[in-house]
Copies of this chain bind each other. A is one copy, B any other.
Amino acid sequence: MMVGSRNASQACASCKYQRKKCDPHCPLAPFFPQHRRKDFMNVHKVFGVRNVLKLTKNLGFKEKSEAMKTMIYQADVRVKDPVGGCCRVISELQNRIKHLEAEYRLLLEQLAVCRVQKQAKAPHLYKQQQL
């Protein structure tokens, strides 16, 4: 994938945007092939090429790949929502959790009431079961 020289039409989205030669050691080429121009533009707009390179400099390929994915996601969200970004996503998920926890507690109470009622309405059955 990353061997040999790349001509202009094969340049990665980053090098194509910067109008520079995309050599076989281009650090962004594996993550931003030409057809991922939109991803690159978002990441460039939000983080900037220099910051992305600095932030991922000391990571191995697997971690770097994961970091790029998470930055692509974050940049996409920030471009769509310049005020909230991922924080709005986090906040909405936290609200969903609070809501689910409240519903869960309610159900737990209903179950406890049901069990008490079951025992109260047929106490003889429970006594038989206990024998």
Contact = CB atoms under 8 A, between A and B. Distances in A.
Interface of A: 45-48, 50-51, 54-56, 59, 63, 66-67, 69-71, 73-74, 78, 82-90, 93-94, 96-97, 100-101, 103-104, 107-108, 110-111, 114-115, 117-118, 121-122, 125
Contacts of A121: 118, 121-122, 125
State how many copies of this chain the complex holds: 2
B67 A83 contact: yes
Contact of A48 (B51, B71, B101, B118): B51
A110 B115 CA distance: 10
A67 B67 CA distance: 22
Contact of A73 (B87, B108, B110, B115): B87
Q: Which 10 residue pairs of A and B lie closest in terms of their CB atoms, listed nearest first?
A: A70-B87, A86-B86, A121-B122, A93-B93, A118-B118, A114-B114, A122-B122, A100-B100, A107-B107, A67-B83
B47 A48 contact: yes
Contacts of A111: 107, 110-111, 114
Contact of A108 (B66, B71, B82, B107): B107
Contacts of A55: 45-46, 78, 82
